[in-house]
Amino acid sequence: MKLWTGRFKKQLDEAADAYNSSISFDSRMYREDIRGSMAHAAMLAAQGIISEEDRDAIINGLDGILSEIESGALEIDMSAEDIHTFIEAELTDRIGAAGKRLHTARSRNDQVALDIRLWLRNAVDGIVTRVEGLMKVLCDKAEQHAATVMPGYTHMQRAQPITFGHHLMAYANMLERDRERLLDARKRMNRSPIGCCALAGTTYPTDRAAEAKALGFDDICHNSLDGVSDRDFCIELAAALSILMTHLSRFSEEIILWCSWEFKFVELSDAFSTGSSIMPQKKNPDIAELTRGKAGRVFGDTMTLLTVLKGLPLAYNKDMQEDKEAIFDAVDTVTMCLDAFTPMIDTMTALPDNMRKAAAGGFINATDCADWLTSKGIPFRDAYKATGELVARCIELGTTLEALPIEEYRAICEDFDEGVYDAIALDRCVAMRKSAGGPAPENTVAEVARIRAILA
Ligand code: ARG
């Protein structure tokens, strides 16, 4: 049964019908559709547009439909055009004429805009909770490893000593901004389009503000054309999710590297690793790889939304039905990803000995050596050059700055004395990096406290 009978003499062609239908993907908004309709009926009655008896019949009828869908007693008819059509038809079947009054002062255009906002608002809350869960896990791990020395890299070359805790907290900082972006998107999304009707409002004496308030919105959409025809809130959310996935993807890339025999900085739990069908020795970081891969998928969803919207004249166009699969996919993908990623990090074991071995190998204390010489009054550029020569000498002798005899130091610069060995000891190099935001263990402990305060 179509909602738009009357004008038409022919049935919709079968292929056209299948093409036009959205119920296969919008049926998941049944709760939001019913909740919106209940609020609409209440508003219509409060304004004297429908009777109180009709309102009660509608709300009771919808309540029955909701609990029957939830219990599985009522199956959603996948041959209906969309979820709005299905629920209205089902209601009218059950309560007769009152059901036909529900759609007074409303159109599917504002109805669908309302349903998506309600659905996404809830979805954002779910994702924010998951992001917070990952932030919490990072804080716990960083606290344990606030003094675990590892090499920091630039250009994938060992650069300067940092700690594993400091490295993890870099991601906690990224997630802090992701969380803010999501909450920000939620704020702009939280305006009610219901009552914009098809595109031009209505002549009925509706109370849009009351209906918005009943549905938990902060405000109404103030222009009826805009309310039914923009999906910028979908794009904004997809963009925030894309940035989040960029962060998770970079993190995944590092985990994949760290799991390799070349690094072996971490070991993933068997519960979050997979094997090979042919190579018995293999233990693969599939969850991290999939996260890196699925980032591309979420970026694609964002591009879909931008492209669908960019050429549309105001107000509603059927193209906009394409918004849902893209934004649902982005939400589903990120949700699934965080549900696997967070416990993977939580159960991951750090291997501090290997981190330290790598940190000891790459002359990552060379800057500290030059800084020590500078503290003796040598200009930094000269200290830099002398240290460079020391590194070259170490490479020649196959040794490290720590093991190089003091005579070798003094041969390059007379100002060196035994004090340099203290200055280039890795733990001290890290402990001395107390500048704000630096890797000194006390900074990491304070950062963990700052992030935990946000989560509290
Ligand atoms: N299924 C449609 C959508 O998702 C609902 C709105 C239909 N409105 C219309 N005038 N055809 O966009």
Q: What is the pLDDT of residues 300-319, one digit of tens each?
A: 999 999 999 999 999 999 99
pTM: 0.94
pLDDT at 57: 98
Output the average pLDDT for the chain: 96
- Is any atom of ligand 1 closer than 6 Å to the C-beta of 26? yes
Relative to beta strand 266-267, strand 349-350 is antiparallel
C-alpha–C-alpha distance, residues 383 and 389, integer Å: 10
pLDDT higher than 80, residue 78: yes
User: How many angstroms does the Cα of residue 294 sit away from the middle of ligand 1?
Assistant: 29
C-alpha–C-alpha distance, residues 420 and 375, integer Å: 11
Q: For residue 171, what is the enclosing H or E element?
A: helix 164-189
pLDDT at 283: 85
362 Cβ contact partners less than 8 Å away, ≥ 6 residues apart:
151, 157, 158
Q: Which of 349, 372, 328, 163 is nearest to 234 (CA)?
A: 328
Q: What digits encode the pLDDT tens for the residues 42-62?
A: 999 999 999 999 999 999 999
CB 240 within 8 A of CB 181: yes
Considering only CA atoms, give the Rg of the chain: 31
Structure tokens at 364: 């990552």
Ligand 1 mutation target, pool 22, 108, 308, most atoms within 8 A of CB:
108
| Mean pLDDT calculated for residue range 160-179 | 98
CB 202 within 8 A of CB 105: yes
Relative to beta strand 191-192, strand 219-220 is parallel
pLDDT higher than 90, residue 278: no
DSSP letter assigned to residue 285: -
| 22 — pLDDT class (breaks 50, 70, 90) | very high
Q: Which of 112, 113, 242, 132 is nearest to 190 (CA)?
A: 113
* Positive or negative torsion for Cα 289, 290, 291, 296: positive
| Mean pLDDT calculated for residue range 65-84 | 97
For the CA of 26, the closest atom of ligand 1 is 4
| Mean pLDDT calculated for residue range 174-200 | 98
- Residues with a catalytic annotation lie at 155, 276
Which residue do the tokens 């179509």 mark? 2
367 class by beta-carbon count within 10 Å (0-12 exposed, 13-18 middle, 19+ buried): middle
DSSP letter assigned to residue 11: P
Q: 210 to each of 41, 47, 216, how far by Cα in Å?
A: 12, 10, 10
User: How many angstroms does the Cα of residue 335 sit away from the middle of ligand 1?
Assistant: 26
Q: Bridge partners of 219? A: 191
| Mean pLDDT calculated for residue range 22-40 | 98
Upper half-sphere CA count for residue 246 (Cβ side, 13 Å) = 12
Q: What digits encode the pLDDT tens for the residues 221-270?
A: 999 999 999 999 999 999 999 999 999 999 999 999 999 999 999 999 99
- Is any atom of ligand 1 closer than 6 Å to the C-beta of 284? no
User: Residue type for 414, please?
Assistant: E
For the CA of 198, the closest atom of ligand 1 is 10
pLDDT at 1: 67
Quick check: helix, strand or coil at residue 295?
helix
Ligand 1 mutation target, pool 20, 22, 314, 328, most atoms within 8 A of CB:
22
pLDDT at 2: 75
pLDDT higher than 80, residue 400: yes
User: How many angstroms does the Cα of residue 186 sit away from the middle of ligand 1?
Assistant: 23
